[in-house]
Structure 1
Amino acid sequence: MSVKTEAWTYFDRIVSDAAPGGVHSNPWTIDPEGLLAYRPDFTALQRLLGVPLYLKAATTTGVPALALDVWLSYELRRAGFSKDAVWPRAAHPRILPQAVANLLDGAPKKLQVEIAKLLTTKASITGVTSSSASILGKNYLKQVDVIMTDWQTGPELLISTKRMDSSFGKNAANRVEESYGDAKNLRLRHPLAALGFVFGLRSTILDEEPDKAEWLIDLLEKLGREDDAYHATCLVMIEYGGNVGTPADDDVIDAENLLVSAGLESEPEDEEIPSEPGSDIDSVLANLPSVKILHDKIPAALSPSRFLGTMVRRVIDATPVTMHREARARIREVVDGVR
C-alpha cells in the first residue's frame, strides 16, 4: 500500500467517527454578540493532521496537505451540502460526478451492486472517476483541492490549499505568488463560484523567522481583500513536535501537478484501491502524534470560522432557494432557535 492509500484509511475512519452513521453535527451557532457564526470541528482537524506525522509522510507525498482537504470537505458536508457534491468524497472514488451518483442511486438493486463494484474496485475510470479534479480557468487548467460542482451549475465552490512546514524563507513568496495567479485564473472564468484559499503553516516559523511570518500573514490577509481574487483566505497555524518531510520537499510539491493539469504530462495512476492497513486502526488512532491549532496566532480575518462561514454563505447566496435546501435549513434552525 502507498503512503497516501494508507493515509486515506485513517482519514476515512476519523471522518466516520466524527459523523456516526453519516449524521453530521450542525456547525452553526450564535456568537456572544448575537451574530450567526460557523463553529468548525477542530478536534477532527487535529486528528487528521496527526495522520501524516504518524506515517512520517514527506511533503512530496501530498499527504500533509491532503489532511486539510479532507477536513474542509468534511466541514462542507457538516454545513449541509450533499455528500457526493463535495470533493474529495468521504469514500473511494474521491471524485465522482453527481450525475453518476444519481444513476447509482436510481438504478435497480442488482445493477446498483454491479456499478458500485465497478466504481470501487478500480483505482480510476477515465472521464468518470479520479483522485483529483482540474478546472479550466481563464487561461489554463488548474487542479483544485476541494471543489463542489455539477454540469447543471458549473463550479459553485473552489478551494485551493497549500501547506508549508519548513524552508519558510525560501518558499513563502513562491507559495503566495502561485496562489494569487491561480485566483485570477479561476475567478475570471467562474466569477460566481465561491473561491477560497487555505494555508497550513507550521508554528515553528514564529520563532525561526518571525519577520517572514509577519510578512506572510499580512499577504494572506491582503489576498482575501482583492476584488478579483479570493472571496476568503484562511490560515491554519499548526503546532507539533518532531518533523515531517524535509526542507527540499517544498521545492517540488506542485511541479508535477501543474504539468498534469495543463495536459503536458499524463496523470499518474491512482493507487488508491481500498484495502486493509497493516496495523490496527483503533490502536493507531488512539496514539496519533499530538497536534494543536494555535488560534491565538491566527488573525480574525484569517480564522477558519470566518473562512468557512463566508464560503458557505456565498454558495447559498448565489443559488436559488430551491437548491442546497439542507444547508439553508441548518442555518435557519439556529436562527429560528434564538427568536
Structure 2
Amino acid sequence: MSKSDAFSDFDPVLAAQPLTDPWTHSAGQQPVYAPDYDLLGKLLTIPVAAGSASESGRFARGIDAWLAHELRRAGFSSDEVWPRAERPRVLPRDLAVLLEKLPDRVSQDLRARISNIPSVAPTDAKVLGRAYDKQVDVAVARWDRGPEILLSTKAQVSSFAKNLPNRFEEAYGDAGNLRGRYPLAAVGFFFLQRSTILTREPDAFERTVDMMRKLRDLGGSNGYTATGMALVSWDETQPSPTVRVELDRVPEDVAPPQFLAAMIRQVLVVTPVVHHVDVRERMERRNIPVPETDDVDTSDVGVRES
C-alpha cells in the first residue's frame, strides 16, 4: 500500500503518539477530559509549514485526524473510528477482523486490493441523512450498531466575518439532516479558527461563540448533540512556523474538553453496558464486570497457505 492519500502526511506523527488516558478526574468525580493539544499543533504544523494552510485540504484533514485520535484515546476501537490511523481510512470492522486473521501474505495482498476499491474502502465516510447524503469528517460506526458518532469539522483562517454566515447555514442544515435519521447518535460540529480573528475581527469571534452555542440541540432534536471550537496561531514570517493551540480565549462551555466529553457521554447513555466497556471504564474510573459484546466470532477463522 505505497499509494498515499490526504491523510498520509499525518501517519508518522500519529504512529509516534501513544493512546494515553484522556481523563484526569478520580473515581466518583465529574468526568474531566484533557485533549492532546500538543498533537493537534503537530498535525496542523505539517500543512502550515508546507504553505497549505487553507480552509480545506490538508489543514482540515489534520483536524479530522486529531479528533479521530482523541476518540481512540477514549477507548473506541481503532477499526470503528474513521478516518483510521492507516490506509484504508474507512473499512468495515468485520473486514478488518478478517484481514487480521488471515496469513500475512494473503492479508497483505487483500489489503492492497481493497485499498484500490473506493466502494469497499473509501477515503471519506458518507452516510445517508434524512434529506441527502452527507460526507462526515469523523465517525464511529459498525454494521450491527450503526453510526454512533458523526462529526463535521470546519476551519477558518481568514475572511472571518465574510464567510461566517455560510459556515453556520451549512451547519444548521447538516444537523437536521443527520439527527433526523439518527436521533440517538452523537452528532457534533467542531470549528477551528486562526487566532488572528481576535485582533482583526473581534466582532466575528463573538458571533462565532454565540453561534456555537445556538447550534446545539435545545430539546427539539434539531441541533447538534455538542459543539466545540478551538483557536490556533502561527507566525508565518518564520521559515518553519509552528502551530500552537490558544487555550485562554475560548470559553469553557464551547472548548474542546466539554465537546469531547459530551459526545462520548451521549454514546454511552444510549447503549447497553455490555457495549463500549473500555470506554465506560476509562470515563467512570472503575472496573465494569461485564464482557464486551462482540457479534463477530473469529475463533474458527483460519486459512492455510497453499
Question: Where does residue 12 of structure 1 map in the other structure?
Answer: 11
The 1:211–1:335 alpha-carbon spacing in structure 2 relative to 1, beyond 3 Å, is farther
Q: Does 1:47 align with 2:16?
A: no
Equivalent position SS for 2:43: helix
The 1:160–1:309 alpha-carbon spacing in structure 2 relative to 1, beyond 3 Å, is same
Q: What displacement does 1:153 show? A: 1.2
Return 5+ residue gaps in structure 2 as ranges.
Answer: 289-306
CA contact (8 A) 1:47 1:288 kept: no
TM-score normalised by the chain length of structure 2: 0.86
CA contact (8 A) 2:56 2:155 kept: no
Equivalent position SS for 2:248: helix
1-structure distance, mates of 2:167, 2:205: 13
1-structure distance, mates of 2:286, 2:37: 20
1-structure distance, mates of 2:46, 2:53: 12
Question: Where does residue 226 of structure 1 map in the other structure?
Answer: 218
Q: What displacement does 1:100 show? A: 1.1
Q: Does 1:73 align with 2:65?
A: no
Equivalent position SS for 2:24: strand
1-structure distance, mates of 2:5, 2:183: 37
Question: Where does residue 274 of structure 2 map in the other structure?
Answer: 322
Q: Taking every aligned residue pair, what percent have the same amino acid on both sides?
A: 41
| Counterpart among 281, 285, 295 of residue 333 in structure 1 | 285
Question: Where does residue 94 of structure 1 map in the other structure?
Answer: 89
Higher relative contact order (CA 8 A, sep 6+): 1
Counterpart of 1:302, as a letter, is V
Q: What displacement does 1:335 show? A: 8.9
The 1:327–1:213 alpha-carbon spacing in structure 2 relative to 1, beyond 3 Å, is same
1-structure distance, mates of 2:107, 2:242: 41
Counterpart of 1:132, as a letter, is D
1-structure distance, mates of 2:90, 2:121: 5
| Counterpart among 227, 233, 244 of residue 292 in structure 1 | 244
Question: Where does residue 59 of structure 1 map in the other structure?
Answer: 54
Equivalent position SS for 2:21: coil
Q: Does 1:238 align with 2:190?
A: no
Q: What displacement does 1:34 show? A: 4.0
| Counterpart among 170, 175, 190 of residue 178 in structure 1 | 170
Q: What displacement does 1:114 show? A: 2.6
Question: Where does residue 163 of structure 1 map in the other structure?
Answer: 155
The 1:146–1:288 alpha-carbon spacing in structure 2 relative to 1, beyond 3 Å, is farther
Q: Does 1:308 align with 2:263?
A: no
| 1:171-216 deviation per Cα after TM superposition (whole angstroms, max 9, x unaligned) | 1110011011100000010000001000011111111111121112
Question: Where does residue 108 of structure 2 map in the other structure?
Answer: 113
Return 5+ residue gaps in structure 1 as ranges.
Answer: 244-286
**Aligned pair count?**
282
Counterpart of 1:289, as a letter, is P
Equivalent position SS for 2:71: helix
| 1:259-304 deviation per Cα after TM superposition (whole angstroms, max 9, x unaligned) | xxxxxxxxxxxxxxxxxxxxxxxxxxxx962222221111111110
Counterpart of 1:295, as a letter, is L
CA contact (8 A) 1:7 1:51 kept: no
Counterpart of 1:210, as a letter, is P
Q: What displacement does 1:68 show? A: 0.6
What root-mean-square deviation, in Å, do the aligned CA atoms of Structure 1 and Structure 2 show? 2.3
Question: Where does residue 255 of structure 1 map in the other structure?
Answer: none
Equivalent position SS for 2:260: helix
The 1:60–1:201 alpha-carbon spacing in structure 2 relative to 1, beyond 3 Å, is closer
TM-score normalised by the chain length of structure 1: 0.78
2-structure distance, mates of 1:5, 1:67: 15
CA contact (8 A) 1:36 1:335 kept: no
Q: What displacement does 1:231 show? A: 0.8
The 1:288–1:81 alpha-carbon spacing in structure 2 relative to 1, beyond 3 Å, is farther
2-structure distance, mates of 1:203, 1:110: 49
Q: What displacement does 1:35 show? A: 2.1
- From the two aligned structures, give the one with the greater helix fraction: 1
CA contact (8 A) 2:7 2:65 kept: no
Counterpart of 1:315, as a letter, is V
The 1:8–1:288 alpha-carbon spacing in structure 2 relative to 1, beyond 3 Å, is farther
Counterpart of 1:138, as a letter, is R
Q: Higher mean Cα deviation, 290-299 or 103-112? A: 103-112
Q: What displacement does 1:225 show? A: 4.4
Q: Higher mean Cα deviation, 164-173 or 50-59? A: 50-59
| 1:223-258 deviation per Cα after TM superposition (whole angstroms, max 9, x unaligned) | 124332101100111111228xxxxxxxxxxxxxxx
